[in-house]
Structure 1
């Protein structure tokens, strides 16, 4: 984690995040490291569909057709965050941390992580095995930080 912050500082890369199922854990993890103020730009917890629509300007039709936990919603979240934040790297997270809220098609542990750098957007679909909410949230943050590290290098 400290190595990521150092790398971002060295490369003068700013990062912004929009989180749903992690509830701010990613922003908290990043800002817990000394020096994060040099690289951390913006953190939003857009937990409700209404917040995704009103703050991140996710089209209502996307949520109605695909759901908030979908590739399409994650893509819209990260793309629209980049317009608001003007950061070099933008991250969006949406998923089902459980223990409830799942369906046959969308089980507990299903998480989409979007990372945008420049014009390139990468959406990662993850299915975490744990059924424990806090473990899914922590695993999501860890995976996200690894993705950001890979993209920032």
Structure 2
């Protein structure tokens, strides 16, 4: 606070304060000087406080902007998660449909094979062609699924390597 001053300075201030009474005590001079210094410091601190309050208001505005941005990103994340779940559900439906189609194909082959056999145990040549076509179609479908499984296993190993 810079309260230290010499006796001459106090007398000079006393004459400035009250020129009619130069016999002001040094305690009164010291108190007057201290009061002046304290008032000066108080004004400086008030100005500093105003600056700090403005900074706080600015920071609060930035916090509100960040909170708004966070809410928007959380909403986008939630939407993306629901889309992923929907995609996953659709994917499982497609897989179930494909599996059902394979089972239908095997059932069809069994029906054709069963109907193609005469009671005496021989096979109708026309039905034999149909059976062979169904079996060939199923073999092609089986090979396609094997390729898909191989590709999925390869992708799975690659993704597991990336995770590690």
TM-score norm. by structure 1 comes to 0.17
Q: Which has the higher helix share?
A: 2
Greater RCO structure (CA 8 Å; 6+ sep) = 1
Q: Which has the higher strand share?
A: 1
The structure whose Rg is larger is 2
